[in-house]
Chain A
Amino acid sequence: MMLVTRPDYDPGTKYLSSWSQILIEEARAKGIEVLDLPGTKATKSEFEGRLKKKQPSLVVLNGHGNEDCVTGQEGKPLVESKVNAEILSSSVTYAVSCQSAARLGREVGGYLNTAYIGYEKKFSILHSHGYFKRPSEDPLAKPFMDFSNHIVRSLLKGHTVEESVRRAKEVGETHLRSLETSLSDPDIQMAAAFLSRDISCLVAHGDTVKCIIY
């Protein structure tokens, strides 16, 4: 079972929400039950309630954050270091959020049979004006989407946390090599710089040989 939080109150979260919509459809097509918390449902009470009741093996957190927390709708905290981080114990969590792997992720990864995948620095993407209503079709954002979504795809295929991170980085590097062939396009050059940063700060903590599907 997979739980996904999808706040969607600004351009950044709208893009992440749209990317996760694709993953939700793919998971359901594989027969995997999905607990979806979109928009105004991405609140702490909904999140904690569903997590405690259903205990999903995979938790995907989309949203803004910092070293100590990941937020939901309107930037309100869903999970915080030293507050309710234990709620993620026994699950594999992937946080598409800034910096949360630096402290929150380490704390969560310290629990038994638990893993946390996230970013140690700011997670950034490039996007184009005119795609706000259809973010998953934005060609400038596609390399970022493919890289990030590949972590979940790989976990859903039964790969370990460690292997999923490695495979996602390979997908990102493949995009980088492709972007490097367009040296004359400044937008693509800029996308490559930000994608390179995202790839380099993706890490996993805890039980990295854990799988969500056996």
Chain B
Amino acid sequence: MNDSKTDQQKLSDEEIRSLVVARLSVLSPDTYVSIGSDGSFSRDELIARVQAGDEIGKEIEDIQLEWLRSWKARAAAV
């Protein structure tokens, strides 16, 4: 039971990561994201961070999910 739940959670995390990578992969190569003192990151650097699942990658995932949820809420309100 627990293993099944863990697998489901893991799959969900992977799906989120894939979604965020897909969104990042269509950015212009000239676009950079400056994230505070962590630095400025190119498209490819952002993708690498998300795929690595490090702190920056998780921050980007969090921002993307928050945006998609708010966008969904706005669309529903129209």
Contacts and interface: CB of A to CB of B under 8 A. Distances in A.
Contacts, number: 84
A75 interface: yes
A99 B40 CA distance: 17
B63 A187 contact: no
Interface stretch (A27-35, A106-114, A125-133): A125-133
B37 A98 contact: yes
Contacts of B37: 12, 64-66, 71, 75, 98
Given A186-B23, A189-B23, A192-B67, A98 B32 contact: no
Chain B interface extent, by class:
20 to 34
A161 B7 CA distance: 48
A103 interface: no
Contacts of B3: none
A209 interface: no
A186 B34 CA distance: 17
Given A190-B27, A197-B63, A197-B66, A12 B71 contact: no
A140 interface: yes
Contacts of B28: 128, 186-187
24 contacts: A12-B34, A12-B36, A75-B37, A122-B36, A123-B36, A124-B34, A124-B36, A125-B34, A126-B32, A128-B30, A128-B31, A128-B32, A129-B29, A130-B30, A180-B74, A186-B23, A186-B27, A186-B28, A190-B24, A193-B64, A194-B33, A196-B66, A196-B67, A197-B67
Interface of B: 23-24, 26-40, 59, 63-64, 66-68, 70-71, 74
Interface of A: 10-12, 15, 64-66, 71, 75, 97-99, 122-130, 140, 180, 186-187, 189-190, 192-194, 196-197, 200
